[in-house]
Amino acid sequence: ANLGGNSDGATALFAVGSKANGTDNTTWVYVQANQALTTGHCLNINATYTAVLAHPASMTFLAFAQGTFAAQDFGWVATNGDKIYVLLSSVSTIGSSLYLTEDNTGILTSGLASGTLAGIFTVEVTATSAQTARQAFVNYPRAVQPASGGRG
Percentage of the chain lying above the pLDDT 90 cut: 49
Q: Which residue has the higher pLDDT, 56 or 72?
A: 72
Q: Tell me which residue of 91, 92, 82, 93 sits closest to 136, measured CA to CA.
A: 82
Looking at residue 110, what is its pLDDT? Answer: 80
Mean pLDDT (the chain) is 86
Q: Read off the amino acid at residue 33.
A: A
Q: Which residue has the higher pLDDT, 112 or 43?
A: 43
Mean pLDDT of 81-105: 82
pTM: 0.88
Q: How far apart are CA 3 and CA 94, in angstroms?
A: 26
90: pLDDT confidence band, cut at 50, 70 and 90? confident
Would the pLDDT of 91 be above 90? no
Would the pLDDT of 3 be above 90? no
Alpha carbon distances (Å) from 128 to 6, 106, 113: 26, 18, 18
The DSSP output letter for 3 is T
Count of other CB atoms within 10 angstroms of residue 29:
19
Mean pLDDT of 116-126: 83
Would the pLDDT of 148 be above 70? no
The DSSP output letter for 9 is B
Looking at residue 2, what is its pLDDT? Answer: 67
Q: Which residue has the higher pLDDT, 68 or 98?
A: 68
Q: How far apart are CA 72 and CA 82, in angstroms?
A: 28
10: pLDDT confidence band, cut at 50, 70 and 90? very high
Q: Tell me which residue of 53, 50, 48 sits closest to 37, measured CA to CA.
A: 53
Looking at residue 149, what is its pLDDT? Answer: 47
Would the pLDDT of 13 be above 90? yes
